[in-house]
Amino acid sequence: MPSASASSRAGANKAPAIVWFRDDLRLADQPALAQAAASGLPLICVWIHDPHACGERPAGGAARWWRHESLRAFEASLAARGGRLLLLQGREAATLDALVTETGAQAVYWNRRYGLAQREADRALKISLRERGVSVESFNGQLLKEPWTVLNQSGAPFQVFGAYWRACLRMGDPPQPKGEPERMIFQSLPARVTQRASKLDALGLAPRAPDWSGGLRAVWPAGEQAALERLRAFLATGLDAYAGERDEPGDAATSRLSPYLAVGAISPRQVWAALKAAQHAHGRGSARRAASAEKFASELGWREFCHYQRFHYVDLATRNLRPAFDAMPWRKDAAGLKAWQRGLTGYPLVDAGMRELWHTGWMHNRVRMVVASFLSKHLLVDWRAGESWFWDTLVDADPASNPANWQWVAGSGVDAAPYFRIFNPVLQGQKFDPRGAYVRHWVPELAGLPDALVHQPWKSGAQQLEAAGVRLGKTYPEPVVEHELARRRALEAYAQTGSARGLGASRQGPKQSAKQRAKQDGKA
């Protein structure tokens, strides 16, 4: 374990370096922190609370709670090394600029962000600081491959995940993750800075009246060590079964690392390196382990692909990537949307997923696809309404993965699920939750039904319902829509859009080549 060190006599005579933390709340494999520590300068570690930073939409309730808990854990990690996380509130650029002036900082380090507005803001800030003689460096702390480095043979962005991921794999493994800096010197802060510093509780990230976070807190321990422990446990006990059991929501077969990746408590490079090590821990490993490792790696790749889309396509959360979908005849169905949000659609697998989400801030990936398909195809409610609900209720809400996945399911995005793929929630439940364990846990009013009926209670006889204590329409709702009717209606609606058409130029962001954007954005 690296030794803790406070500001030294030698370091106290040097102008400090600022490390600006964003979605990278960890000490290990933290390129900006590592480079700042290697400079030998005394460090000021800062996190700036700006709810509307760079025009980004404010984080949802569950993500704010998770950020609060993650910041608390990160504060403790820095304190254990003799440091402090300075919490400031205000507009990002103005607040950082003022901090540079007040502390006389000679260098600023950060890890890059990939939204267009974020890149532009970081680039402008970098230019401004450099004009003042301040050294500014930025790094990749969030992705395996930065988006401008992976292009097709025409120099354009990939639109199909398989081709994109094969190109990534041909580029070789990402750099090996590094541990915590061996030595860090921390700068004592002047009074004018500490006087305007905020306490974590004053940021208003955590709910208070009422505090609805009890279910989230019971499931998600925050911080870097919790993330590493979860990764180790998954690789030790869950990896071998991952490929075969990952789609079964009743089993704990997935890593559940997405919330930690979202706040940067762990890096994708750390996950990648640990996966490779686990894969080859016993020689070449079993065929089962190899298949599972390949599948898990591709899930990391899918996360990369979502960030890739966010980089290359503007307004991912608000505009259809396929312009044909602008003609989609979405239905205004407030009652159906509310039933979906509350887990009262009458389809047990859908309802179980939505209740899991509300209680824990997370939902199993297979079920996410089913509930998203149900909203956008069974109910024909605009995918953006579902994306917005997920944004507010997921602890792993991510500005790339959340909208990209919703567009994929709805059919409006790149490499989208075919429009005619309309998940049957009954068949999905019977296939992936055949014993009904997942449904019985989250929809306990159906627990007394036999396995054959727990995913379709409306097919139960009167005596079976009575024996199970189920009164359809009373203790559990009738289906809000009949599946075959919904399927036909959805196919008719999709036919109106000409859904087979591809991505249009109007959805491809600024009219610059990928190489031009790389020059401008690659070092922001």
Q: Which residues are catalytic?
A: 299, 302, 330, 365, 383, 406
Which one, of 5, 108, 107, 130, lies nearest residue 48 by Cα? 108
Tokens of 344: 């009262």
C-alpha dihedral sign at 391, 393, 398, 403: negative
Cβ neighbour number for residue 435 with a 10 Å cutoff: 11
* Cα(365)–Cα(392) distance, integer angstroms: 17
Cβ neighbour number for residue 327 with a 10 Å cutoff: 12
Cβ neighbour number for residue 192 with a 10 Å cutoff: 10
Residues pairing with 109 in the sheet = 19, 137
- Nearest-Å Rg of the Cα atoms of the chain is 24
* Cα(362)–Cα(342) distance, integer angstroms: 15
Question: Contact at 8 Å (CB) between 439 and 349?
Answer: yes
First to last CA, the chain: 32
Alpha helix ranges (H) inside 132-281: 161-170, 191-194, 214-219, 224-237, 239-245, 258-263, 268-279
C-alpha dihedral sign at 52, 57, 62, 63: negative
- 234 alpha-carbon distance from chain centroid: 19
